[in-house]
Structure 1
């Protein structure tokens, strides 16, 4: 697991820097420059195009994870693998455009009542989806070659940094919201161009027509895998985004705007999970190819405890400062309606992290087809719980539905992996982390509020929570990897002090 920790470090740093920029954008500049409805609108545009691009990819964003090791050969331009991915996804894009116009009136009707502004930008979805699709393909192509840092830098920092300029343009009355929406599209075009340049600079932009993959005996299994992944991805996106999409339809753009702010606060929990996944998945794919189940089991257990520790710390710092966090946000008195949205979303994401790399194990195994049935059931569950809970509790209902779906979806995968491989990610170290988290939470409620400006309370409370949690993790030896990192950090600090 040491290699995963080391390779995850750069990606984690880049992702957190990107999140910091996104934090300033979403929690400060957006509430200052945009109305709640406008925040909801730009959120829905990005969610919808991401969903459409995943559909149009026809599984091409996951095929490399499982099959790239079989075609990897730089001297032979990876046997035309990138060319194949783009051919497959372009076919999917043509199908998407056809379906888009067939169901145009239905799509407009869904949002015309409570989110009429979205219909003004309806046709933006076609080119925007194409840009997102190309980004997805190139990102996964570099990921399977263990070069995720620069693509992540472009997505997390370049895109968000440029969006900062756009929202500042609105704030200082230099551009209108309509121009800002156009600017978002331009930003993603720039990101795609930068990614193309990077892939070319690494000498792996192999787009010359090469039909080796099309002639390979594995083509049929790849297409079948892509079809199953398409169904799975569609269901996964439904599970993860149906809350904000259905809020726009049921409750309007204002509710979506409030939910967006709360969601962004909770999303910080996903960063360690996403960063580790990008490094782990090629390793799991290679181990699967070699039949090394012992290696997979080791990564499974260590990913669970490491993510649980990092996620637990982040969740505690956020939740123990939640009221103060909303004080940072302009118009915080409006957005604090999403306080418990953060809690329920956070619990769902924390549970997902604690379950380790179950998704990666399923995706790279020969049992990947079963995942589709799990996804189908859970997407129906997500839709059903949102339809039931949003009319009753609004944004809180959407958050509860999301948490319920994520928890059940992980439990189903957990049970399946245990039954097939007799592998599970938990140990007595898991209990230690749960007890440590409980102790720190109790400490927070005993800790007095710092008088004066709330910033002091955030800084002092956050500091003591982080120190107490880290010390307890270190003393309990809950994780060998994190113990090594903490011990090395403390030793270097003491050396500098001396």
Structure 2
């Protein structure tokens, strides 16, 4: 268990450092040194690759994690090598199909984003590199060695993108060179992971496949297909809008959309790390058929994440205007004001919904998650097709908000119907009242200071008042325990209980 805790701790630290690097790059360096069209193209190249790579990997990474325990230590490399060849074939097939439809793909971008056509080969390189990176990441997860691959994914790739823009700003290379560097960046991450596994953990390819039976082949096909569709639909939800904004409105508008979308993503960040911790617990409770404990985790997770999400939501929306005043080209990014508001609201709803998706995923009804996710992807892409043309960037955020809201509601109702549990408690009502009061107060607080000072002072005061009210009204026992232990340990103050 010590190994798991250590890996989880450093994985969390790495992910937050990666977020900081991403914010510096997205909110300052890119907007300072790239024009809107270049920002849009830079993002589109990687987002399109992220959208396709789950398909080209054919779900083999998840398959290795699932079936890893079934093989003896000596045959794990044989099994992995077999999946490596399948992934290689999946990439070859996807690239071949893209080559056959090259004219149709070119035509798609010719009107509003003709410059992207020149970078299709870079997208292809990233597709291949990312699909193999995910496969070898799965190997690392299976042997419980995730610190280095997490560093590569969350920090190395973001630092690389940051350095590419800085190099462009310093005239070390032109924009084409920076784009080519994206392909190099992802390739280096993939090759570095292979090298680390070979040097430090003794990984070797072993292409003796006599142990792969037809029964195992069928299992791989079924689970691999499920994993591919699940990961593919998730990637579609996260990346399709970037592509549709570019093809309908142009790369300049995509530059605004991607930057504003990134601002709001921090609201959901705590949920990602909490789900990693809660996932194994839910799996264990389902194994025991202890639905009472599953229900308690569901409710505790909701109120805790609601508090954290509410604080982050308030911090972003009340400081948004000052943020636009502070960042380079802020007046242009103000076009994305409602993007930030809409995405923040969506992410807050995800926090409030707790672990509905995880509960479905760890139950015998796990396959329904695929149906719900594919449904959300279809709704998103369909609404984007119509609304972006009519309402521009606001149409894109309406589509995203609607698709994810439907996705959340369907999962909540599904869990309520099948497991007779829901995430809501009475404390949600005073929490929303506190959130509304703090939001109004923070919004009205407009001292005559420069934007960065206003953001700093407003954020400190908002946090202090919010935490005080949450503690005073005992909204969450878990949060109150954290506040108590913090005051006792670091300030040597014993708060009344």
TM-score, structure 2 length as denominator? 0.90
Contact 1:240–1:402 (CA<8 Å) still a contact in 2? no
Query: Who is 1:108 aligned against?
Result: 106
Pairs aligned (count): 491
Query: Who is 1:463 aligned against?
Result: 460
Mapping for residues 67-216 of structure 1, pairs under 5 Å: 67-68=66-67, 70-71=69-70, 75-76=73-74, 78=76, 80-143=78-141, 147-200=145-198, 203=201, 205=203, 207-209=205-207, 211=209, 214-215=212-213
Q: Which has the higher contact order (CA 8 A, sep 6+)?
A: 1
Q: CA RMSD in A?
A: 2.8
Contact 1:358–1:413 (CA<8 Å) still a contact in 2? yes
Distance 1:12 1:310 in 2: 16
Distance 2:286 2:217 in 1: 19
Match of 1:340 among 327, 338, 341: 338
Query: Who is 1:488 aligned against?
Result: 485
Distance 2:476 2:388 in 1: 39
Distance 1:192 1:133 in 2: 9
* Displacement of 1:258: 0.6
Mapping for residues 215-254 of structure 1, pairs under 5 Å: 215=213, 217=215, 219-254=217-252
1:268 match: secondary structure: helix
Q: State the Cα deviation string for residues 257-295 of structure 1 (Å, max 9, x = none).
A: 111110110121232122233444455445555655455
Query: Who is 2:314 aligned against?
Result: 316
Query: Who is 1:451 aligned against?
Result: 448
Q: State the Cα deviation string for residues 76-103 of structure 1 (Å, max 9, x = none).
A: 4657553354243223212212211122
Quickly say closer, same or farther: Cα 1:387–1:70, change in 2 above 3 A. same
Range with greater deviation from structure 2 (244-253 or 89-98): 89-98
Distance 2:405 2:6 in 1: 29
Contact 1:304–1:355 (CA<8 Å) still a contact in 2? yes
Distance 1:205 1:371 in 2: 34
Mapping for residues 240-389 of structure 1, pairs under 5 Å: 240-285=238-283, 287-288=285-286, 291=289, 293-294=291-292, 296-389=294-387
Quickly say closer, same or farther: Cα 1:150–1:361, change in 2 above 3 A. farther
Quickly say closer, same or farther: Cα 1:267–1:147, change in 2 above 3 A. farther
Quickly say closer, same or farther: Cα 1:245–1:466, change in 2 above 3 A. same
1:174 match: secondary structure: coil
Contact 2:267–2:348 (CA<8 Å) still a contact in 1? yes
* Displacement of 1:129: 0.7
Quickly say closer, same or farther: Cα 1:69–1:90, change in 2 above 3 A. closer
Contact 1:64–1:140 (CA<8 Å) still a contact in 2? yes
**Any stretches of 5+ residues in structure 2 without a counterpart?**
none
**Any stretches of 5+ residues in structure 1 without a counterpart?**
none
Contact 2:324–2:334 (CA<8 Å) still a contact in 1? yes
Distance 1:71 1:94 in 2: 29
Residue 394, structure 1, aligned to residue 392, structure 2: yes
Q: State the Cα deviation string for residues 182-210 of structure 1 (Å, max 9, x = none).
A: 11222222222333344446637464346
Contact 1:450–1:456 (CA<8 Å) still a contact in 2? no
Range with greater deviation from structure 2 (53-62 or 398-407): 53-62
Quickly say closer, same or farther: Cα 1:393–1:204, change in 2 above 3 A. farther
Match of 2:474 among 473, 477, 497: 477
Mapping for residues 14-29 of structure 1, pairs under 5 Å: 14-29=14-29
1:214 match: secondary structure: coil
TM-score, structure 1 length as denominator? 0.90
